Amino acid sequence: MKKVLLYIFILFLSISTVFAGSDIIVGVHIYRFDDTFMAGVRDIIKSNADGLGDCKIIVTDGKGSQPTQNDLIINSVKNGAKAQAINIVDVTAAPIVLQKLQKLGVPAVFFNREPDSADMPDEGWFYVGAMAEESGRLCGGMIADYFEKNPTSDLNRDGIIQYVLLMGERGHQDTIYRSEYSVRALQERGYRMELVAAETANWQRVQAQEKMSSWLNSYSNIEAVICNNDDMALGAIDALKAAGYFTEGRYIPVVGVDATAPAIEALKEGTLLGTVLNDAKNIGKATFQLSCLLAKGEEINQNNFDYTISNGRYVWIPYKKVTKDNYMDFER
């Protein structure tokens, strides 16, 4: 009973902001607050809400639990939210969540965790994010550039790049496409690739460090580390440092995605080969603008929305390659 009461109290705290009856409210739901990249997106959404003043926001933490997020979404509707911006915990749950919202007459903007459109209803939703395959190609391209400039990094001289892969959540589109297209980009540049080991580290630095440490103890032929995000890349770097890399000429190239502030620092110190800007500023801005317009019931057009909508529902934010040569342009 105490656990139930505590859970209800936590839900209440998550949506306890007091609004005036005339306020236009948007529910903003983050899959988990402790994700480094999503913390940045959340801050951008908040700053846009504070700066524009058109819509107020209710911001909630799904804590990595879809049932928890479901409750928070419905509770925000009960508290007056006229539109929902959802960074969904489990993308496979998106159709069910949207169906519930449609029954309540509430539109949704999903962001940064893309639902499969084949499973979704035809109306009532938008998506804001970046094309995952593009980030994979950019990651693979940076590894290819490195080996072109440093052919002796083929440590066993077999003409094959032996690599390990640290992946995000299983089934997540970013995990699938970043993994596939990073390798495809290298193959298209003429490189033969051999996968030494691959594991999911769920976007998390500590998990990535543990898996990389294990691989370093098990394999002596790792020549590149491809990571689906920066936190996992930094975890891999932590393990490499502990094993004596990045000193006395010992180096393995590591790439990630997001261009978070800690990743930029790793670029500066020379431990991270490259990252890809997942543009938190524009993802956050576009998400808030679109959600606010939906909440107000306004028609969306070029006069009130700063971004292009493709195929009637997609707002694509381009990725950008970040290396030691241009990281200065992306420092926060």
Q: What percent of the chain has pLDDT over 90?
A: 86
Phi, psi of 287 (to 5 degrees): -60, -45
Number of residues that this document lists for the chain = 332
What's the one-letter identity of residue 41? V
The SS3 call for residue 188 is helix
Best CA proximity match to 29, nearest among 67, 78, 62, 77 = 62
Q: What is the pLDDT of residue 332?
A: 67
Domains and CATH numbers, the chain: 2-130+279-318 (3.40.50.2300), 132-277 (3.40.50.2300)
Question: What's the CA gap between 328 and 296, in Å, rounded?
Answer: 39
Q: What is the pLDDT of residue 205?
A: 97
pLDDT in tens, 250-288: 999 999 999 999 999 999 999 999 999 999 999 999 999
Q: What is the pLDDT of residue 22?
A: 61
> What is the CA 33 to chain-centroid distance, rounded?
12
Angle made by CA atoms 294, 112, 16, in degrees to the nearest 5: 60
Strand residue runs (E) in 6-77: 25-30, 56-61
Phi, psi of 244 (to 5 degrees): 95, 10
Question: What's the CA gap between 159 and 147, in Å, rounded?
Answer: 11
| Structure tokens belonging to residue 42 | 């959340």
pLDDT higher than 50, residue 5: no
For the chain, first and last CA: distance in Å? 46
The SS3 call for residue 126 is strand
pLDDT higher than 80, residue 189: yes
Mean pLDDT over each residue of the chain, to the nearest integer: 92
pLDDT in tens, 135-171: 999 999 999 999 999 999 998 889 899 999 999 999 8
Question: What's the CA gap between 238 and 247, in Å, rounded?
Answer: 13
pLDDT higher than 50, residue 210: yes
Q: What is the pLDDT of residue 267?
A: 97
Q: What is the pLDDT of residue 16?
A: 40
Q: What is the pLDDT of residue 14?
A: 45
pLDDT higher than 50, residue 1: no
Cβ-in-10-Å burial (0-12, 13-18, 19+) of 201 comes to buried
Q: What is the pLDDT of residue 3?
A: 46
Q: What is the pLDDT of residue 97?
A: 97
Q: What is the pLDDT of residue 54?
A: 86
pLDDT higher than 90, residue 191: yes
HSE-up of 244 (CA within 13 Å, CB side)?
Answer: 5
Q: Which residues of 29-39 are buried (b: 16+ CB within 10 A; e: fewer)?
A: bbbbeebbbbe
pLDDT in tens, 39-98: 999 999 999 999 877 899 999 999 999 999 999 999 999 999 999 999 999 999 999 999
| C-alpha dist (Å) from residue 151 to 75, 144, 163, 275 | 57, 10, 15, 21
pLDDT in tens, 21-30: 568 999 999 9
Place of tokens 């543009």: 279
Question: Taking a C-beta distance cutoff of 8 angstroms, is the pair 95, 137 a contact?
Answer: no
Look up the pTM and report it: 0.83
The SS3 call for residue 107 is coil
Query: With DSSP H G I counted as helix, E B as strand and the rest as coil, what are the percentages for the chain, rounded to 5?
Result: 45, 20, 35
Place of tokens 């902001």: 17
**Band of residue 8 on the pLDDT scale cut at 50, 70, 90:** very low
pLDDT in tens, 297-332: 999 999 999 999 999 999 999 999 999 999 999 886
pLDDT higher than 70, residue 6: no
